[in-house]
Amino acid sequence: MFKHVLFDVQPERKVSAEGLRWPVGAEVETDSGLGCNREYCDLRGLSWTDARQIHALELAMIRKIESGEEPGEDYASIEDELESTDETGLLMGLDIGVASTVAALSAARCIPVTSCNGGAFGIPHHEAHPLVVFCARPQQLELLVQGAEKAGVGLVSNASGHLVVYADDIRKMPAFALALIETRAAFRQQRFRTSGKPGADKDFTHASQLKLFD
């Protein structure tokens, strides 16, 4: 019977607007290596529709793993299945468990930098626990912290001027994504107040054209 890994990390919420870094221009183009991620790919501008679709697919994949007897084999089988179907465009090559967080942050107009599920499903990964590193603007912090509190995930600033959302349980990452999705109206209003243009920065869907990092 499958049992979720509980990672040895304490979720904390300590963020500061001071020192936040917002990359521009060529820094955020695909293959730019943003945040020292050699496999970085530009995933800005996903829509809330994209985020909802990825969230639903990710939850379905997690439930399928949970129902299996060999999580590592099931995870590998699901990844092979995704790569051989049209569904692979929805997860964009992201790890199961953190894909919806990446998508929701992009829809909120943050910039995802790197992500990893920490080996939550039995296959070793680079990071020791699930996380997504991203760039955000100071005015987004309040809504992001609210989402982190609701989902029970950690959210901290790092020395590079990025934010890191992380969890001791992979199931909390899709919960954070859902918290952002449910707050989408507030994120939209925030953008409109900042831009001063009621119709500015409309969502657009291009998930099928993009692929991110492991």
Q: Is residue 200 a part of any domain in this protein? A: yes
Burial-class residue 86 by CB neighbours within 10 Å (0-12, 13-18, 19+): exposed
pLDDT for residue 125 is more than 70: yes
The answer to whether residue 54 sits within a structural domain is: yes
Provide the mean pLDDT of the chain: 84
User: Is 33 a member of any domain?
Assistant: yes
Would 7 be classed as within a structural domain? no
- pTM recorded for the entire structure: 0.84
- Over range 105-125, report the average pLDDT: 90
What's the Cα-to-Cα distance from 27 to each of 38, 57, 128, 188, rounded to whole Å? 13, 30, 27, 25
Q: Strand, helix or coil at 182?
A: helix
Count of domains for the chain: 1
- Structure confidence by residue, pLDDT tens digits, 28-58: 887 877 887 777 888 999 999 999 999 999 9
Does residue 6 lie within any of the structural domains?
Answer: no
Cα dihedral 133, 135, 138, 139 sign: negative
Residue 214 lies in a domain: no
Q: Is residue 127 part of a domain?
A: yes
Whole domain around residue 35: which residue ranges? 13-209
> What is the per-residue pLDDT for 117?
94
Residue 127: which of 91, 99, 156, 167 has the closest Cα?
167
Angle at 182 between CA 178 and CA 187, to 5 degrees: 115
